[in-house]
Amino acid sequence: MNDTRAPIVLGIDDLRPLPWVTRIARTSAEGVRLLEEHREVYVDELWLDHDLGGEDSIMPVVTLLEEAAFHGRPFRIGTVYVHSANPIGAQTVVRSLQRWNYQVRRTSA
């Protein structure tokens, strides 16, 4: 049998269109729900923006990923791409997720 599943590419960003992603969330709450919906499947790529408008940020999503790893059930994600215009916020996300052995790259979107 030929396993040719389509890649799963998720994005969490308040403004950018991210046309290459298969699903997008515009707030941290939507991002948490999106990841929870994909809890049991392999996610090829996860694209994260730090600042999500107003007081919202990506940190609730980062906390979800950290807590999953802490409890020995990290999300199965190929690469996490952090594409924020906020360099300090982006570096915080990168460091936080690398600490839990997620494969993370700082990039531009």
Domains of the chain: 9-106 (3.40.50)
Lowest mean pLDDT among 2-11, 22-31, 93-102: 2-11
pLDDT digits (tens, 9 = 90+) for 20-75: 999 999 999 999 999 999 999 999 999 999 999 999 999 999 999 999 999 999 99
* pTM for the full predicted model: 0.93
Q: Rounded to whole angstroms, what are the CA distances from 31 to 1, 5, 6, 84?
A: 33, 23, 21, 15
C-alpha angle with apex 92: 102 to 30, nearest 5 degrees? 70
Q: Tokens for 4?
A: 């040719």
**What DSSP assignment string belongs to 14-73?**
SS---TT-SEEESSHHHHHHHHHHTTTS-EEEEEE-SB-STT-BSHHHHHHHHHHHHTT-
Q: Residues 67, 90: contact at Cβ < 8 Å?
A: no
